[in-house]
Structure 1
């Protein structure tokens, strides 16, 4: 489960083309860029392959709720 989810626009005056995201998952902090097409560009730490789909789905749902409401 994702906790402490945060996002902010890449540019001050626009919501597009993407957002910086950060969150914790199972005690590890992750960050990256969420692009407008739903693609995630991971930062310094990439989630384990077996968890990546679940994390991607949760982030997409959070972004739909917060940004695209």
Structure 2
């Protein structure tokens, strides 16, 4: 389960889309860039290959709820 999910715009003027997301998963901190096309580019460590699809699915759901609502 993802905990403490946060996001902030990459660009100050917010005209250009793009966000930095951060969260904890299994007590490990993670950070990624969420691009306007939904691509997730990890900054530093990323979840294991077995967990990656599930984690990215949750990130997409959170971003749809918070940003595109």
Q: Answer yes or no: same fold by TM over 0.5.
A: yes
CA RMSD of aligned residues (A): 1.0
Per-residue CA deviation, residues 16-67 of structure 1 (Å, 9 max, x unaligned), is 3310000000110000100111110001111100000000000000000000
Contact kept in structure 2, 1:9 and 1:15, CA below 8 Å: no
Structure 1 moving runs of 4+ over 2 Å: none
| CA distance in 1: counterparts of 2:4 and 2:63, whole angstroms | 14
- Secondary structure of 1:11's match? coil
Larger strand proportion of the pair: 1
Alignment map for 1:1-69 (pairs within 5 Å): 1-14=1-14, 16-69=16-69
TM-score normalised to the size of structure 2? 0.95
TM-score normalised to the size of structure 1? 0.95
**Gaps (5+ residues) in structure 2?**
none
> Paired residues, what number?
69
Change (3 A) 1:15 1:24: farther
- Secondary structure of 2:44's match? coil
